[in-house]
Each structure stands twice: as structure tokens, then as C-alpha cells.
Amino acid sequence: MLTLGGNYTHDSKTFKAAAESSDVFSGIDFNAPQYEPFRRMLLVGGGLRQAGVDPNDPAAVLAFASNPATAPIYSAIVANAVANQSNPLANPLAQLRALQFMPPFLDVPNAVEDGRIKDDDFAYTVRLAYDLSDAINVYASYATGFKASSINLSRDSRPSLADRTAIVGAGLNPNNLTYGSRFAGPEESRVIELGVKGNWGDVSANLAVFDQEIKGFQSNIFTGSGFVLLNAGEQSTVGVEFESTATLFDALTLNLGVT
């Protein structure tokens, strides 16, 4: 016996999100030009410590800078600090970013994001079964599945990374805006199953071999300040399942299941 099934999905969502972060510290851009003198001072201090001089001891710094033997080293430390005071890769303040838990948000809809998302898919099932006898049936099936995109409207809903260039170009990017948690893309699955079913009255048994694959698996992921639903990649399962039922003395039923 051949069984065919199909399902067409059209999913359309319209969404809005507005949030405000009152965490002033998380809105500071440590690479901003106004912090160049502070970054230069820290770089000089770090260089002095590597040279064995306490940067908080003015007398020691003066002696190090004026000593003919160490003056060239001091000059090199200052030159390196000046050269790197605007270098994000050498920013001594960068390690403080780990404490910027709640950076500013970007409300949606906006000039780049229209607050709409749409998915279309056709999923289907094909199943072929054959009775070997009145008690035994064998079958094979192939099925696909679909789960539409999911929107995150939590406090950590951030624009898609694909929109970053457009957002920056439109001047919508506040300091430290993060990306990638606005929504989870669609999830698609595929299942192949081969099996045999037997029924002998008081005893029945089913044996199945299956192979399941999910692409774009949607999973709750911890971002450091909350959970969002994102695509966690591909998930696959291959296995064997056996289940059996036996009725004894018309009063006792035994069940066995192994996967």
C-alpha cells in the first residue's frame, strides 16, 4: 500500500519591539577619540611596568626618563603608546567590554528592518507498506518537516548581522550595538524509517530503524544576559527502536521498549 501526504505552509509575521537600556557604562565606546589621552597614559604605564618602573611613582618615572641609559627606552615606550592610542587591537580598555552587559538597543521597525518576516514551504510524506502475511507487515517511509522562523522579542533582541552595513549606513547604530539575535531562521527536517510490525493476537512486536536530520535546529541559547531562540546548526539521530506487548492469562500485560 502506498500512502502519500503533503502540507503547504505559508507563515507571515509582523512584529514590533522597543526597549531602553539604562546601563550607561554599557553604552561607552572605549575606542572613541575622546579617550585617546587616557588610552595613551595606560599604554605608557604598561610599558613602564614591563621595564620595571612604577608608573605611579613620579620620581621613579622622571629618573627613568632622564637617565641617559634608559631615556631611549622611555622614548620608545611613549612612541609606541602614541602609535597605538587609536588602535582597537591594542586598546587597554578592551577587557572592560566583558562588563558591558546591556548595551543599547535598536527598536524595530526602523529604516532598515520593516518588522516583517515570511516563510513558505511544502512538506511531504511517502510511505510504502506490504503485508508479508496476515500477521506481519513491512514498511518504508520518507518524510520532511518544516518549522517557520521564530522572532525574539526579549530584552536581547538584536538586528541580523546581514543588516549591519545598512544600519551603519543609515546612522542607526548606537555605541556597542550587538547583532544576531533578532530571530531564528526556519528549521527543516527529514526522517527515513524502515520497519516491520507483527501481531499474533496476544503478542505484538514492532521493529524500526530510523535516520532523522534537522537543519537549522532552533534552540534556546544563553547570550550572557538572557536566552534567545537561535539556529544551533544541524542535529541528526540514527537508531533502532523495538517495542513489544504480550498479554498473559487475560489479566497481565507486559510491555517492552528499547531504543
What's the half-sphere exposure (Cβ side, CA atoms, 13 Å) at 57?
11
Cell for 199?
501481531
> What is the predicted pLDDT for the residue at 241?
97
Can you give the pLDDT at residue 125?
97
The C-alpha cell that represents 17 in the structure block: 519591539
Predicted local confidence at residue 226, as pLDDT = 79
The packing angle between helices 58-66 and 71-84, to 10°, is 110
Task: Supply the pLDDT for residue 42.
Answer: 95
Classify burial at 203, counting beta carbons within 10 Å of its beta carbon; exposed 0-12, middle 13-18, buried 19 or more: middle
Residues of the chain with pLDDT > 70, as a percent, come to 100
Per-residue confidence in pLDDT tens, the chain, 259 aa: 999 999 999 999 999 999 888 899 999 999 999 999 999 999 999 999 999 999 999 999 999 999 999 999 999 999 999 999 999 999 999 999 989 988 899 999 999 999 999 999 999 999 999 999 999 999 999 999 999 999 998 888 899 999 999 999 999 989 999 898 999 999 999 999 999 999 998 999 999 999 999 999 999 988 777 788 999 999 999 999 999 999 988 889 999 999 9
